[in-house]
Structure 1
Amino acid sequence: MAQHQSNPPLRPGAAPAPIVLAGATGDLGFRIAQELLKRGAAVRALVRVGNTKPEVTVLQDLGADIVPVDFNSVTALTKACAGAACVVSALSGLREVIVGTQKRLLDAAVAAGVPRFIPSDFCIDYTRLPAGSNRNLDLRREFNQRLDQAPIHATSILNGMFTDLLTGQAPVVLFGLKRVLYYGDADQPLDFTTTANTAEFTAAAALDPTTPRYLRVAGEVASIRGLQKAATAATGTPFKLLRVGGLWVLGTMIKVTKTLMPTTDDVFPPWQGMQYLHNMFTGLPKLTPLDNARYPEIRWTPVREVLAARK
C-alpha cells in the first residue's frame, strides 16, 4: 500500500489552514486535538458557549484556538469554519447531535467552502449491517446519507471497538472470574483499536487531502480465543472461555433489556452495548481491507498491552 504524507507542503511564508474540531472536550476529541497540535496543525476547537471543562484551558495552553459557538446556529458555525482545510466532528450523542447538530455543522462547512469533512463515526462497519440492528449506528448511517449528498469531500474513520473498553465497560474479559465471555463462534475475528490510536489516525487523516470515503483501521484483529491468550499473557494467570450461548441468546437478552428500559436519553444504555457486541459477533461489520499502513508512523497498541495496563 502506498504511504501518504500527513502534512502537505505549504507555500513559503503561508500559514497552515486550520483544522476545525467539534467535540474537542470529549475523550476522543481531546486526544484528536492534541495529536493535531503535535503534528504542527493549527487547531480551531469549537466549544459550546459557557463550556468550562478543564480541557478547554489545556488546549488553549497547548496553542489551540478556542472558539465558543452556538451549535444551533448555522450562521455562527459558518463563521467559525471560515478558511478551514477540514472539519472534524468528534461529537457524541443521539439524534439531536449525530443527525441534527452534525447536519448544521455540515451545512456550515459547505457554506464556508471547507473542502473536507470527517464525521463522528469511529465504530464498526455499519455500512455492512442491516438497518435496525443498532440504534446508534443507524443514526450514523442516516447522517452519512446526507453527507454523501453534500458538495464536500467526506471521509469516515471506522475502528471497530475501542480496546480500552475491554478493561471494564465491555463485559467480555472478566478479570475477577478469569474468563472471557462470548456468544456464538470463539474464532470469529473482531476489530479492536485504542482510543489513542484512533485519535492519531484521525489527526493524520485530517491533514491528508487525499483520503478516500472510508478508512478502516484495527489496532489488533483478535478472536475470542485471541482475547483469552492476551488476557493470560497480560495477567500471568490462565483465563478460560465462557460461552453463554448462540447469538440468538444474546438477541433475546437485548429484547428483554430494551423492554425493561424502552426509552432512555442515555447514549450507551446496557442494551446498546449488547447490540454492539452482537453486531461484532455476527462478523458482518468486520473491517476489510484495513488501512493501518497508510500512516506508517503510528505504532498500533495490541490488546495484551491494554489489558496489562489495567489498574
Structure 2
Amino acid sequence: MDKVILVAGATGDLGSKVCIELKRRGAVVRAIVRPESKSAKISRLRDMGVEIIQTELSDISGLVAACEGVSCVVSALAGLHDVIVTAQSHLLQAAIKAGVPRFIPSDFCTDYTKLQPGDNRNFDLRKTFQSIIDQSDIRATSIFNGAFTHVLKYDIPLLNTKEHRIEYFTGKLDWRIDFTTVDDTAAYTAAAALDDSTPRYLRIAGTQISPLELADVAKQLFGSSFDLRERGTLEAFSSYISQIRKEQPEGEHALYPVWQQMQYLYSMFAAQHTEIDNNRYPGIAWQSIATALN
C-alpha cells in the first residue's frame, strides 16, 4: 500500500512543490488548507491528485481526522509564534492522537542548532518548537537546507548586482555559505518523508560557496567584475542589528522586518554545514548557483 503523507502549508511555494515531488514518488498526498485559502491554489493541488482537507489549524478534531492513516506529517508552514509554535503544536498534538509515527517540522533554514538565542528571531521560534517536539513521542526529522538560493536574486549585500558589489565580514572571505533551491529542498523533503529511517537532523546544500568564489561566478554571469568589500566584524554587525531592532519595535509583529532580514545575512556567516547528507537520496540533480541565477 502506498504511504499517505500529510502536508501542511501546501498552498505555499515549498509546500506545493513537496506535494508534486511526493506524487512523483507514488505517495498518497493529503493537504491541510485553511477555508480562506485561495481557490486557484486549492484547484492546482486537486488537479495534481492531492486530497484536500479544509480545516483551521486551531481545530484539533479536524486535524486529527486529517492525520488518520498518515505515515508522516510534513509542515511547510511559515509565520511567527502563532504559526511556528502554536499552530505546529496543534498539528503535532493531532498527529500524536492519530498515531502518526513521524513529523518533519518547518525547519527549512540555516542550521539553528549552531546559533545562539537572539541571533535570529525566526529561528528562535523554530528552536521553541524543537523543544516541544523533542519532548513528544513522535519521531521528528528537521531538514536544514541553509539559505534558499533565490535570496541571491534580491540584491542583498552578499550579491548586489545593481552596484556590482559583494560584501563579507572580517575573516569570512573564504567562509562557505550553504544554499539550496526550493525545488531541490522539496525533492529531498519528499524522499525523507517516505524514508522511515531518517535521523533527527538532515543537512543539505545544493551549493556551498564563499564570497570569494561567488565573485567569480558573478563575473561569469554578469560579464564584469564585482567589488569585494569587507563590512566589518560579524560581532559589530550583530550589535547594529540589535540597535535597529530596538528602534523598530513594530517589526516584532512582521515576518521579515528590516532587522530580521539582517539577521538572515548574519546567520549565513555564523553557521554552516560541516557535513552534508546530499547523497542519502540519489537522483537529485542539485542546482548550482549559476543555474539558479540564470
Q: TM-score range by the shorter chain?
A: over 0.9
**1:83-109 Cα shifts (integer Å, max 9, x gaps):** 001000000001111000000000000
CA RMSD, aligned part only?
1.3
CA distance in 2, matches of 1:170, 1:19: 36
**1:158-183 Cα shifts (integer Å, max 9, x gaps):** 01010110011633211111111222
Query: Partner of 1:39 in structure 2?
Result: 25
CA distance in 2, matches of 1:251, 1:175: 24
Paired AA for residue 99 in structure 2? G
Pairwise mapping of residues 199-210 of structure 1 onto structure 2 (< 5 A)?
199-210=186-197
The answer as to whether partners of 1:25 and 1:53 remain within 8 angstroms in 2 is no
Which piece of structure 1 moves more, 109-118 or 179-188? Answer: 179-188
Query: Partner of 2:232 in structure 1?
Result: 245
CA distance in 2, matches of 1:123, 1:35: 19
Query: Partner of 1:123 in structure 2?
Result: 109
User: Please, which of 255, 259, 267 is the counterpart of residue 267 of structure 1?
Assistant: 255
Q: For residue 134 of structure 2, give the secondary structure of its aligned residue in structure 1.
A: helix
Query: Partner of 2:48 in structure 1?
Result: 62
Query: Partner of 1:231 in structure 2?
Result: 218
Q: For residue 250 of structure 2, give the secondary structure of its aligned residue in structure 1.
A: coil
Paired AA for residue 214 in structure 1? Y
Query: Partner of 1:173 in structure 2?
Result: 159
1:240 positional shift = 2.0
**1:273-292 Cα shifts (integer Å, max 9, x gaps):** 2112112213xx21132000
The alignment's TM-score, normalised by the length of structure 2, stands at 0.96
Q: For residue 267 of structure 2, give the secondary structure of its aligned residue in structure 1.
A: helix
The answer as to whether partners of 1:156 and 1:214 remain within 8 angstroms in 2 is yes
In the superposition, relative to structure 1, how do residues 169 and 56 fare at CA in structure 2: closer, same or farther (>3 Å)?
farther
**1:136-169 Cα shifts (integer Å, max 9, x gaps):** 1111011011111111111000010101100116
Query: Partner of 2:57 in structure 1?
Result: 71
Q: For residue 249 of structure 2, give the secondary structure of its aligned residue in structure 1.
A: coil
Q: For residue 239 of structure 2, give the secondary structure of its aligned residue in structure 1.
A: helix
Gaps of 5+ in 1: 1-13
The question of 1:133 aligning with 2:119 is answered yes
Gaps of 5+ in 2: none
CA distance in 2, matches of 1:171, 1:142: 29
How many residues get paired? 292
Identity, in percent, stands at 45
CA distance in 1, matches of 2:228, 2:39: 41
Paired AA for residue 163 in structure 2? L
CA distance in 2, matches of 1:149, 1:252: 33
The question of 1:93 aligning with 2:67 is answered no
The question of 1:155 aligning with 2:141 is answered yes
User: Please, which of 215, 221, 241 is the counterpart of residue 202 of structure 2?
Assistant: 215
Which piece of structure 1 moves more, 91-100 or 260-269? Answer: 260-269
The alignment's TM-score, normalised by the length of structure 1, stands at 0.91
